[in-house]
């Protein structure tokens, strides 16, 4: 079993329950951990036999562009899309981090992790 990590995907998006979040948006960071049997790719050195990081990024970018009230919902959409896109995935973790959330106090970030 192998682990592929795609960390620090920076996206500007418009998620949140407050009306102004839909207008001004905010900074988000997404971290993806994928467990998969990619031994053949490791041996053969052939891209099509593994999970292409570019495709992972495209899925994250697409799902982050669809507005939601909750980052929980966005993280679940990303996880579901990844699981459905790559048959070799046996487990995954998606963390969506909202930088400087508007919660009335000084907080660097909040995050949600979905594991499938």
DSSP structure string for 15-82: -SSSHHHHHH-EEEEEEEEEEE--HHHHHH--GGGS--HHHHHHHHHHHHTS--S-HHHHHHHHHHHH
Q: For the chain, how many structural domains are there in total?
A: 1
Question: According to the model, what pLDDT value does residue 17 have?
Answer: 95
The pLDDT tens digits for 13-42 are: 999 999 999 999 999 999 999 999 999 999
Residue 75's domain comprises 2-115
Beta bridge partners of 33: 5, 93
Phi, psi (degrees; rounded to nearest 5) at 17:
-85, -20
CA distance 93 to 91: 7
Question: According to the model, what pLDDT value does residue 82 have?
Answer: 98
Q: Residue 25's domain is classified under what CATH number?
A: 3.30.1130.10
Least confident of 88-92, 100-104, 106-110: 100-104
Reduce the DSSP state of residue 107 to 3 states and report it: coil
CA distance 115 to 33: 9
pTM of the model: 0.95
The pLDDT tens digits for 54-81 are: 999 999 999 999 999 999 999 999 999 9
Question: According to the model, what pLDDT value does residue 104 have?
Answer: 87
Q: Mark whether 62 is an active-site residue.
A: no
Which of the following is catalytic: 40, 76, 98, 99? 98
Q: Which class for 79: exposed (0-12), middle (13-18), buried (19 or more C-beta within 10 A)?
A: buried
């Amino acid at each position: 079993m192998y682990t592929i990590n795609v960390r620090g995907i920076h996206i500007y998006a418009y998620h949140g329950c407050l009306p102004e979040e839909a207008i001004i948006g905010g900074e988000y960071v997404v971290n993806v951990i994928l467990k998969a049997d990619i031994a053949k790719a490791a041996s053969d050195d052939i891209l099509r036999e593994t999970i292409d990081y570019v495709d992972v990024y495209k899925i994250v970018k697409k799902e982050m562009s669809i507005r939601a009230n909750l980052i929980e919902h966005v993280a679940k959409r990303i996880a579901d899309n990844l699981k459905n896109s790559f048959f070799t995935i046996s487990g995954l973790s998606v963390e969506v981090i909202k930088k400087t959330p508007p919660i009335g106090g000084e907080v660097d970030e909040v995050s949600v992790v979905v594991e499938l």
